[in-house]
Amino acid sequence: MTSELPSGSKKQVALILAIPVLVIAVSSVMFLLAQKRVLDFGTVNRGSLIQPPVQLSELTPTRVGGSEYLFDTAESRWVFMVVGGRECQGACERMLYLTRQTHVALGKKTDRVERVYLATEGPLSPQLRDFIEQEHSDITVVNVDGSRFLKAFSALPTSPLDKHSFYVVDPLGWVMMVYRAEDTTTETLTTLGKDVLKDMRRLLK
Q: Amino acid identity of 34? A: A
Looking at the predicted structure, is the pLDDT value of residue 129 above 90? yes
Query: Distance (Å, rounded) from C-alpha 101 to C-alpha 79?
Result: 14
pLDDT digits (tens, 9 = 90+) for 142-163: 999 999 999 999 988 889 999 9
* Positive or negative: CA dihedral 88, 76, 107, 41: positive
pLDDT at residue number 3: 52
Q: Using alpha carbons only, what angle is made at residue 89 by residues 84 and 154, rounded to the nearest 5 degrees? A: 30
**Is there a contact between 55 and 173 (Cβ–Cβ < 8 Å)?**
yes
Q: With both helix axes pointing from N to C terminus, report the angle between 91-105 and 126-135 in degrees, rounded to the nearest 10.
A: 20
| Fold adopted by 45-203 | Glutaredoxin (3.40.30)
Domain boundaries along the sequence of the chain: 1-43, 45-203
Cis previous bond, 6, omega within 30: no
pLDDT digits (tens, 9 = 90+) for 20-68: 444 333 333 433 433 443 334 344 578 899 988 999 999 999 999 899 9
Question: What are the helix (H) ranges across the chain?
Answer: 7-35, 91-105, 126-135, 146-152, 186-203
